[in-house]
Amino acid sequence: MYEETDRHRMFTRRALILGAGQLGLFGVLLGRLWQLQVSDSEKYASLAEDNRVNTKLIVPARGRILDRLGRPLARNVPAYRVRVVRERTPDLRATLEALAELVPVSPRRLEEVEKQARELRAFVPVPIRDDLSWEEVARIAVRAPELPGILLDQALLRDYPHGPILAHVLGYVGPVNERELEAERDPLLALPEFRIGKKGIEKRYDKRLRGRAGLSKVEVNALGREIRELDRDEGDPGEDLRISLDLDLQRFCFDRLAREKAAAATVIDVHTGAVLASVSIPSFDPRPFTNGLTAAAWRKLSHDPLFPLVDKSIRGQYPPGSTFKMMTALAALEKGVIDPSHEVFCSGVFTLGDARFHCWKTGGHGRLALVQAIAQSCDIYFYDVALRVGVDAIAAMARRFGLGDRLGIDLPGERPGLIPTRAWKRERLGQPWQKGETVVTGIGQGFVLTTPLQLAVMTARLCNGLRMIRPWYVRPADAEPAEWPRIELPEDGLRAVLRGMYEVVNGARGTARRAKLPIPGITLAGKTGTSQVKRITRAERARGDHKRKDKPWRERDHALFVCYAPFEAPRYAVAVVVEHGGSGSKAAAPPARDIMTRTLEINPAGADLLAARDLPRKG
């Protein structure tokens, strides 16, 4: 009896415990269900939606680059591309090899495509080439049944319609590399078809040219396969960028210098600093860079001894030779060690201790003052003046005119040149400065290095009322003439220097008399320069080797010419450097004259140049 009662009580307790456990479990399930269905419903609905909907970035159309008149220099053109889908071909490698028999695809590219296709999901299209011609598209379309998995579609490709003529200024775009991707961490850069600015204007203004990426919402199944597009935002195209270059003038400059092995020219507006033309010879075609240059093509360009990839107008550093003499003269005039009437007798040789320094004219120029020293480019005169004023004063003057430091042009890669001082040599070489080095610095030799752009800016600052203009391609906010700082110099000294530049071209003994403009009533002022690239020994000078015309090309002097016009009312400055061209008067002055003539004909500044004929002449 008692045993039966104990069993009943034990059963009742167990039943109660079991029931309570079941009730608690049910409560937990009910609470969790409430949380899923009510409390967190929006969260899980969003997760479910994310599983069902994929969001993809849409590459925006890149902004165009236009010249000063709105003519396209860089644009986007429709291009055909070919892609492969791995799941649609039974033999990926065989399909790719069959495609390569129809259109050029390098073995290296085939390997890259095959690797990428196996890393991605089988239904994801992998790009093979983005620049098919219509003939190549037709060949693929005809053989389509034999190319399972191959897709043809259309995309936008960056195009440079003027090719090498503008390559150094515009630069180019190319595929994003790992370093660039890590630096920006922008998901847009991870898209295979996205291109980023690599050089020139394309690189400097890349963010403005990119635009805003679009978004596409696509419904996908459990495997991630696209079913249909639910929504689409096209984004915003990149900003069109108008730059200062004049396409016609740029083409003329390029064609005029193309006959040289290596040369550079720059044309600027002397009042605003706008770069109207900038040419570097030899050049290259920027279009192949868009989809990545082949290794062989890159080796050919990068190992070319004439450096076609280097923009010589901002990266070429050359001894300025006699184009530097105005800086020596102005330094001496400002310090008061000479005045415009200061005379020096040139016998053809200048002696300093045991050293002998020669004038370019073997018999010498006789006695002359500043204006004729510039006009006839007498070396002896400027040896004397340089010793009187000293190298540090010359360097300080040169820097005020834009030499020896970067000018801040809105292109990447500008080099600073070099204007030496006593302190520079002591710090860099650990040696004291020598008087003989001051002598050669006075005529733009020795350590002195400048770029063609710097020489153009120097010339502009000389003739524009001593305004310290800065060069630009995309107009800055402070490009108005009244806002440029002014260089303070004695007026009589400046007039003498400018008059000397006038006499270089228009005087009876000027070194560039053949550079006169063919435009009636408008005159050109300028300065020739011939800079040695190899020291001439006494024995070589005695034999006359330095004047041989059959010297190896790389041993010939660089030829330079700087000029401005109209002399009566300056508007444009031109600097030309012909590498190993020999004499500045023969190799650099004629193309500079032709470039200035064309500039005045086009007249991009829009000034009333004809009215300049009635103005009083400077100097």
What is the DSSP annotation of 308-361? TTS-HHHH--B--GGGGHHHHHHHHHHHTS--TT--EEE-SEEEETTEEEE-SS
Lowest mean pLDDT among 293-302, 308-317, 595-604: 293-302
**What confidence tens digit (pLDDT) does each residue in 37-51 have?**
666 555 545 444 445
Q: Which two tokens stand for residue 396?
A: 């300080």
Q: Which of the four pLDDT bands, split at 50, 70 and 90, describes residue 60? A: confident
**In sequence order, which residues have a C-beta less than 8 Å from that of residue 60 and are 6 or more positions away?**
210, 211, 212, 213, 214, 234, 235, 236, 237, 238
**In sequence order, which residues have a C-beta less than 8 Å from that of residue 36 and are 6 or more positions away?**
44
In this structure, are residues 170 and 160 in contact, taking their beta carbons and an 8 Å threshold? yes
Mean pLDDT confidence for 139-143: 90
**In sequence order, which residues have a C-beta less than 8 Å from that of residue 499 and are 6 or more positions away?**
371, 618, 619
Mean pLDDT confidence for 139-167: 90
pLDDT of 19 > 90? The answer is no
Mean pLDDT confidence for 520-546: 75
Mean pLDDT confidence for 135-164: 89
Q: How many residues does the chain have?
A: 619
Mean pLDDT confidence for 542-552: 61
Determine the residue type at 70.
G
**Alpha carbon distances (Å) from 485 to 259, 326, 456, 477, 481:** 39, 20, 18, 15, 9
Q: Which two tokens stand for residue 499?
A: 């008059």
pLDDT value of position 27: 64
Strongest mean pLDDT among 14-18, 109-113, 452-456, 550-554: 452-456
pLDDT value of position 114: 87
- Taking the C-alpha atoms of residue 512 and residue 505, their distance in angstroms, rounded to an integer, is 5
For residues 304, 309, 315 and 317, what is the CA-based torsion angle, rounded to 10 degrees? Answer: 20
**What confidence tens digit (pLDDT) does each residue in 377-386 have?**
999 999 999 9
| Average pLDDT in the chain | 87
How remote is the C-alpha of 172 from its chain's centroid?
9
Task: Please choose, from the candidates 165, 168, 212, the residue with its C-alpha nearest in 3D space to the C-alpha of residue 186.
Answer: 212
pLDDT above 70: percentage of residues in the chain: 82
pLDDT of 617 > 60? The answer is no
pLDDT value of position 129: 84
pLDDT of 616 > 50? The answer is no
pLDDT value of position 482: 63
Q: Kindly list the catalytic residues.
A: 322
**What confidence tens digit (pLDDT) does each residue in 557-569 have?**
999 999 999 999 9
**In sequence order, which residues have a C-beta less than 8 Å from that of residue 581 and are 6 or more positions away?**
260, 263, 556, 557, 558, 559, 587, 588
pTM: 0.84
The more confident residue out of 117 and 330 is 330
Mean pLDDT confidence for 486-511: 96
Q: Which two tokens stand for residue 392?
A: 């540090």
Domains of the chain: 56-242 (3.90.1310.10), 254-283+307-609 (3.40.710.10)
**Alpha carbon distances (Å) from 348 to 279, 342, 351:** 37, 18, 10
In this structure, are residues 541 and 436 in contact, taking their beta carbons and an 8 Å threshold? no
**What confidence tens digit (pLDDT) does each residue in 64-112 have?**
999 999 999 999 988 888 888 888 888 999 999 899 989 998 888 888 8
**What confidence tens digit (pLDDT) does each residue in 422-471 have?**
999 999 999 999 999 999 999 999 999 999 999 999 999 999 999 999 99
